[in-house]
A and B are shown apart, each in its own frame.
Chain A
Amino acid sequence: MITTEEVSHYIQNIPPAPSVLRQTLDYLREDDLTKAAKCAETDPALKLYLKTLINRPIYGFRQEVSDLAQIFGILGISSTQQTLYNYLLSLLVPKQWSLFALTDHAFYDLQASLGRKWEKILKHLNLHNRETESAITLLPASIIVCDALFGAHRNEVEQLRSVKALDYNTILQRLSKQSLFDLCSEIAAKWEMSPTIARIVHAASGLDVEIAGDEKVLAQWMHLLLFYELSQNVYVTAGLNEFIDFQIDFVQDIYESFMEVVAHESNG
């Protein structure tokens, strides 16, 4: 099935962050929205992505917003950074999903929904900052990696799972000694994301025993949020509900607060 060579090859082929994007992120780190917007203006693909995003019904603008400085102003520094990372991740999205029955639209909706709910969670936990907000953008990378690595082995995995309930993350770990979340950390390093982001997302697998403090709390909420989202119709149908193992014990003690913050507000 999947070999360590295939995994290494995949890591080697992760594209670096485009230079314009890197520069834009640098300006954001310096809190300079104006320079960041000007820099982003020079990348037509990035500009189109941001324009399309901000003009989606969820933002509720009656008139089309097309000026990047205005867009960055609306989003603010943290959300702009999160959006830029989402854009970066969109560069990894496959042209054709081969393992999961996903469409680009459904994947971008997942990114957006995770982002919105994550913001609520961070406010509730009072752990809102630029890095924690951006952490959620890396989480869906695990889905992209999984699809890329297992797409050609779908039938084999089905046969394996017919006798044992193994999730993709466990299968990969056993075959290559690397988990999907290890590969997310590799992506984070390649894209020069902060180590905190990589640690939180890695721990969101629910399997890191050494994590503690705020990072553990964030990892718990992220793990439960992921399964909350992956229990939605469209993602269950896409086969995402089974891609990693849900660590119910890891999140049991935050479940009630989670439902108050995320589920009740969503229903309301």
Chain B
Amino acid sequence: MRATVKGRVAVFHPQGFLDGNNAPSFLTIDDIKATEALNVDMLLVSLKKVIFFNKNGLDVFVRLLLSIRNQKHISIGLCDYDSVKFKTINSFYGSNLNFSLFRTEKIAELFAPTNKSDSKTVLLYNEDPSQRSAMAIELFDYGHNPVIAQSKKEFDEKKQNADLYYAIIEDTYLGLFGQKIATRVTGNAIIYTIANFLDAEIGNTFNIAYHNNSLNVGFRLFIFDAYKVVSMNVHALNFFTKLASSAAEYNATICFVGLTFEKTPVSFKNDLEDAGMMFFDTMEEILKNKELLQELGGSSASATKHTRSLTKTLVNELPHFIDATVSTIAMMTNAVATKTSVNIQTLEVKETANQFASSIGFYGDVDGIIILVFPKNIAKKACELLIGEETDDEEAILDSLAEFVNIIGGRAKALLGEKKHIVDITLPRTYEDVDALMQMAQNKKGVQVDLSFEGSNFIFFLTR
């Protein structure tokens, strides 16, 4: 059984009966290897379709989760259960419960360290005050707005107005959390939340691949929310200095907000400033000052002034990327997309109205970004198999479009792998209009392929 990956959350979905006898059969050696190779921040087992489970059955999955957490410092847990199953799991593990429990997958996603969604208002209750606080802090760190009920009575009252909340968090438990540094995207700035004493461990908990990808796809402002940092040692200082050097290559800015120097040596501040880091007292100083934001590079996720040119290797692999796109469309729609023109140019979209766009980056032996621009009706058609029903819900279509480009990215990765080019793919990104895309791609030179599909045209653009 393979986990399904959405964003940076991977979920196993076993069905039926789960016990000590059959559970090992769900995870072959290949499945375990594939899971270990996933580039995710959270790994879960959904119990939604499991009608019976016992501790031996759960233990098989839990052992895999714990082993991967030890290697990769990701969050792990079980999700999608009702109150009865929640009590059963608690009775199995008692005080040894060292993984998380999320009543739904939607709740779990709120706690995913790399959070690209908007701030959500959620209602939260847990009878254990320490759990309540831990969840509230985590949610807050991830940019959400938790409304905390202090008593069951207050919770039940607030629950009556369910429409006010994106999610109602109950029957949830945070076990050994904060494995990765919380990351969220606000506008075009990326905010990392760091806390406590910073030492060499930051090299494990900071998602450097995500950071590098963000630089590659055009983010230029990175903020460390350091209100809760007590102090740091020289190893952490070295880490931040190296980060500043790599950011300088992209003309990006890295800021610290709220860092105090009561216990951190002031000399560290000087070293970090020399490396190009900036310091602010409050987040508002940056995010609410448009001029400053523009100066720092956070007004748009645009490319740098020095655009990265296409490489010969990348151009040589172009047929593979087009194949990946065309074959994915054929797979999803049983219809054929045909190439009408190929040009090396900057991205040119003639029809800008009623278009959706999406992009996915890849990095490794070769690096680049695939951009697709579709008329909305074609995007909908291409995603019909994933959506499943007739819908005009743009959010659902964009979500499916992200899954769609993820498949293309996966295919491109496999095709490149056959040519011994090892690459990894970034999270897919979607754009509800062409303007948002052009902010990122306007100065980038690349290969534009116009494709025709069921009488309409769409654009494939490969760039760096």
Contacts and interface: CB of A to CB of B under 8 A. Distances in A.
Interface string B11-35: 1011111100110011010000000
Given A163-B6, A241-B16, A248-B49, 10 more contacts: A159-B331, A159-B411, A160-B385, A163-B4, A165-B13, A228-B17, A231-B18, A234-B25, A242-B13, A252-B51
Interface in A84-128: none
A245 B407 contact: no
Contacts of A156: 331
B411 A162 contact: no
Nearest to A4: B334
B384 A162 contact: no
Nearest to A243: B15
Contacts of B25: 233-234, 236-237
Interface stretch (A74-82, A170-178, A179-187): A170-178
A162 B334 contact: no
Interface string A220-255: 000010011011111011000110011010011001
A20 to B, nearest CB: 38
A1 interface: yes
Interface residues of B, number: 36
29 contacts: A1-B332, A1-B334, A156-B331, A158-B2, A159-B331, A159-B411, A160-B331, A161-B2, A162-B406, A162-B407, A163-B4, A163-B5, A163-B6, A164-B4, A164-B6, A164-B386, A165-B4, A165-B13, A174-B385, A227-B15, A228-B17, A233-B21, A233-B25, A236-B22, A236-B26, A241-B15, A242-B1, A245-B49, A251-B51
Contacts of A259: 52
Contacts of B28: 237
Contacts of B334: 1-3, 175
Interface of B: 1-2, 4-6, 11, 13-18, 21-22, 25-26, 28, 48-52, 328, 330-332, 334, 384-386, 388, 403, 406-407, 410-411
Contacts of B5: 162-163
Contacts of B6: 163-164
A158 B17 CA distance: 23
Contacts of A166: 386
B9 to A, nearest CB: 12
Given A162-B410, A164-B386, A245-B49, A230 B2 contact: no
Interface of A: 1-3, 156, 158-166, 170-171, 174-175, 224, 227-228, 230-234, 236-237, 241-242, 245-246, 248, 251-252, 255, 259
A228 B410 contact: no
Contacts of B411: 159
Contact of B11 (A2, A165, A230, A233): A165
A162 B1 contact: no
A228 B15 CA distance: 10
A255 B4 contact: no
B4 A241 contact: no
A156 B327 CA distance: 10
A100 B331 CA distance: 20
Contacts of B410: 159, 162-163
Contact of B15 (A162, A234, A246): A246
Contacts of B22: 231-233, 236
Contacts of A242: 1, 13, 15
A229 to B, nearest CB: 9
A113 to B, nearest CB: 14
Contacts of B48: 248
Shortest 6 CB-CB distances between A and B: which pairs?
Answer: A231-B16, A227-B16, A231-B17, A236-B25, A246-B15, A163-B403
